[in-house]
């Protein structure tokens, strides 16, 4: 029984032990264990017979195709088991990487299947799962059937065809003698035992299903190495995209900023040169204006160079570089850097640009009065914490913070955002030290 809570969630009045026999999870997992036996037997028989045949024929040209076909068939079994686990166990296991032949043709495909550790893990699952399926089927069915049968025994005990009674025994229609439980005490004890088994059975079923979850996850899903390779490939894509975006930004800044000023400067000096013989005063004014343009172009080039990699970071480290950033922020910023040594140069650069991006957000969006930067080392990680007393509500999926999260993730870093509405905002970045 369930009652509605004010917040909209369902609050059950029955304890979990009493609800378990009637919950959908129990029946789904029980169905999974029952279905595992016939499927496990079929998978085991096919996998063992074809693998044994392929291994026996490996001395001939037929062995390799048969063995490769057996492994491919086991991968198909794995697809069925993952779908069954998703439907009945609510276990979402990612599909492993497909076979990637190094060359075209049947030989390339067979070589790829035989070299694939995923294929052999699927074969191991087909061989190991069958004996476990027999055990799980027997235990779960015994608990479940005996529990419900004994619990409901008073409702169906009348179906036994009693023939005659002899001294407390009952003579059945087949002529055999057996004890007949018909007194109130005997019926109560039988139902009590059935109730106990019925209440215990769901937890036995869940325990058995947990073992199946481990088997499916460990043998039919992607390996840790494969997952790590896919993660590194994704991170490499992020790094490449970030580098390309930075190059486009630098090109745009040069084209629209310093380059445009230098072109205007060249044209102004050319006009001044033409006017110099005729109107020296006008030429002098134009030269003076060109001098101002030179100063602005130099300032833009310095800013651009600082954006690529600030010299103060290379020369004096994060403490001085972050203090320089804080001095240019529109709000007062307290800087505290406690590092025993300097991290790797690449990590320093990422840390610098992380703080730079966060301080820009403070200046543009937070309406804060003060902010602080704390940088320290914890174990083998570099921790950066930027806090402001603004109105909060920072969006983790926003363009700036979302891109920053991806950039940190590309080097095994992470970004944690705590920005409730009304503030304050605390953003913590964690990077590997890699000194």
How far is the CA of 303 from the CAs of 122, 299, 309, in angstroms? 57, 6, 10
As given in the structure block, the two tokens for residue 47 are: 């996998």
| Angstrom distance (rounded) from CA 81 to CA 42 | 13
pLDDT at 46: 93
Length of the chain in residues, anyone? 435
How far is the CA of 399 from the CAs of 218, 402, 404, 406, in angstroms? 37, 5, 8, 11
Pick the CATH number of 316-432 from 1.10.10.10, 3.40.50.2300, 3.30.565.10, 3.20.20.70: 3.30.565.10
pLDDT at 401: 76
Q: Mean pLDDT of successive 10-residue segments in the chain (435 residues)?
A: 47 72 89 94 93 85 86 91 93 82 76 84 93 95 90 77 50 51 78 89 93 92 65 54 59 61 70 72 73 68 59 74 81 85 80 82 81 86 86 72 75 81 84 74
DSSP 117-169: HHHHHHHHHHHHHHHHHHHHHHHHHHHHHHHHHHHTHHHHGGGS-EEEEETTE
pLDDT at 169: 47
Establish whether the linkage from the previous residue to 424 is cis, with ω within 30° of 0. yes
DSSP 3-state assignment of 298?
Answer: helix
| Angstrom distance (rounded) from CA 182 to CA 165 | 12
pLDDT at 168: 46
| Angstrom distance (rounded) from CA 240 to CA 258 | 26
pLDDT at 4: 47
What number of helices (H) and strands (E) belong to the chain?
A: 14, 10
As given in the structure block, the two tokens for residue 87 are: 């439907």
| Angstrom distance (rounded) from CA 5 to CA 20 | 21
pLDDT at 171: 46
Which helix (H) or strand (E) segment is 93 a member of?
A: none
| Angstrom distance (rounded) from CA 127 to CA 185 | 48
pLDDT at 227: 57
51 and 67 Cβ atoms separated by less than 8 Å: yes
190 and 181 Cβ atoms separated by less than 8 Å: yes
**In 5-139, at which residue ranges do the beta strands (DSSP E only) sit?**
10-12
Within 8 A by CB and 6+ apart from 232, the residues are none
pLDDT at 47: 92
| Angstrom distance (rounded) from CA 87 to CA 406 | 33
């Amino acid at each position: 029984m369930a009652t509605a809570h004010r917040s909209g969630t369902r609050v059950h009045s029955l304890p979990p032990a009493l609800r378990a026999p009637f919950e959908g999870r129990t029946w789904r997992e029980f169905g999974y264990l029952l279905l595992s036996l016939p499927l496990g037997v079929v998978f085991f028989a096919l996998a063992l017979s074809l693998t044994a045949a392929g291994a026996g024929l490996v001395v001939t040209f037929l062995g390799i195709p048969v063995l490769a076909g057996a492994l491919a068939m086991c991968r198909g079994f794995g697809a069925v088991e993952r779908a069954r686990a998703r439907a009945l166990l609510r276990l979402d296991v990612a599909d492993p990487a497909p076979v990637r032949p190094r060359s075209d043709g049947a030989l390339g495909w067979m070589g790829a299947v035989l070299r694939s550790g995923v294929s052999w893990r699927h074969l191991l699952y087909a061989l190991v799962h069958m004996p476990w399926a027999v055990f799980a089927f027997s235990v779960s069915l015994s608990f479940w059937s005996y529990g419900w049968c004994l619990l409901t025994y008073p409702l169906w005990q009348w179906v036994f065809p009693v023939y005659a009674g002899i001294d407390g025994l009952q003579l059945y229609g087949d002529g055999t003698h057996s004890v007949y439980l018909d007194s109130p005490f005997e019926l109560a004890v039988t139902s009590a035992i059935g109730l106990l088994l019925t209440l215990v059975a769901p937890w036995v079923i869940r325990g058995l299903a947990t073992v199946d979850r481990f088997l499916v996850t460990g043998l039919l899903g992607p390996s840790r190495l494969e997952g790590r390779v896919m993660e590194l490939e994704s991170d490499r894509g992020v790094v490449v995209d970030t580098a390309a975006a930075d190059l486009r930004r630098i090109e745009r800044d040069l084209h629209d900023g310093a380059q445009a000023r230098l072109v205007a400067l060249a044209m102004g000096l050319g006009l001044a040169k033409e006017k110099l013989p005729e109107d020296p005063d006008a030429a002098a004014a134009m030269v003076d204006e060109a001098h101002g343009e030179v100063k602005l172009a130099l300032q833009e080039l310095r800013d651009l160079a600082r954006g690529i990699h600030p010299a103060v970071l290379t020369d004096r480290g994060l403490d001085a570089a972050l203090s320089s950033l804080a001095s240019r922020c529109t709000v007062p910023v307290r800087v505290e850097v406690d590092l025993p040594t300097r991290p790797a140069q690449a990590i320093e650069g990422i840390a610098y640009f992380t703080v730079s991006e966060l301080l820009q957000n403070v200046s543009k969006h937070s309406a804060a009065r003060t902010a602080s930067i704390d940088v320290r080392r914890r174990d083998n990680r570099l921790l950066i914490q930027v806090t402001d007393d603004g109105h909060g509500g920072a969006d983790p999926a926003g363009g700036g913070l979302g891109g920053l999260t991806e950039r940190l993730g590309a080097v095994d870093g992470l970004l944690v955002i705590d920005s409730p509405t009304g503030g304050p905002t605390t953003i913590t970045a964690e990077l590997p030290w890699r000194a």
